[in-house]
């Protein structure tokens, strides 16, 4: 008699993910877990209460999720090709409604030697804002607008 179906014994870790769940930097960093690594750098995007002096009530993020995860993985590959001391990359972006002060994105990079982490981290967030199909709508008391940095 075959074993009953159950949860897999494997822990499946997604390094590049779009999710509606709240984000934790510790949790994203734990996806990199590797005791050989000496340093991790993260970028944490936080929902701001204003842009251009206008009071934001909350944000709505929308994604093309399949392509967003694919482009996040592409950014990871670009980084590892360009900065060879970077060991692992994880990027998790939250979508849906988000309140002021909540975390919208966590980028985490690990390296045995830290020198290249910082340029790579800067590249990761710039590139995310350039190619990843995720959009954000600011909701004010008197209206709303889709924002982009482009």
Partner 1 sequence: MKVRVRYFASLRETVGLEQEEFELAAGSSVEHLLAALAGAHRGLDTRLAAVRAAVNRCYVSMGTLLKDGDEVALVPPVGGG
Measure Cα distances from 37 to 33, 67, 80, 114, 125 in Å: 8, 30, 15, 10, 22
Query: Site for partner 1 (CB under 8 A): which residue of 32, 41, 68, 117?
Result: 68
The whole-angstrom separation of Cα 45 and Cα 107 is 9
Residues in 10-39 that interact with partner 1 by CB under 8 A: 39
Helix (H, G, I), strand (E, B) or coil at 122: helix
**Which stretch, 8-16, 20-28, 78-86, 131-139, contacts partner 1 (CB under 8 A)?**
131-139
Non-local (6+) Cβ contacts of 50 within 8 A are: 56
Query: Site for partner 1 (CB under 8 A): which residue of 41, 61, 83, 109?
Result: 61
The mark string for 50-89 relative to a second copy (x by CB under 8 A, - otherwise) is x---------------------------------------
């Amino acid at each position: 008699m075959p074993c009953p179906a159950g949860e897999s014994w494997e822990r499946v870790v997604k390094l590049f993910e779009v999710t509606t769940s709240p984000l934790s930097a510790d949790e994203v960093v734990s996806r990199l877990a590797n005791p050989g690594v000496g340093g991790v750098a993260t970028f944490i995007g936080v929902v701001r209460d204003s842009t251009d002096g206008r009071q934001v009530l909350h944000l709505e993020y929308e994604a093309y999720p399949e392509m967003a995860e694919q482009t996040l993985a592409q950014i990871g590959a670009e980084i590892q090709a360009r900065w060879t001391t970077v060991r692992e990359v994880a990027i998790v972006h939250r979508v849906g409604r988000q309140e002021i002060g909540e975390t919208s994105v966590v980028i985490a990079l690990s390296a045995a030697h830290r020198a290249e982490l910082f340029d790579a981290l800067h590249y990761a967030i710039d590139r995310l804002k350039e190619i990843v199909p995720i959009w954000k709508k600011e909701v004010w008391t008197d209206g709303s607008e889709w924002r982009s940095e482009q």
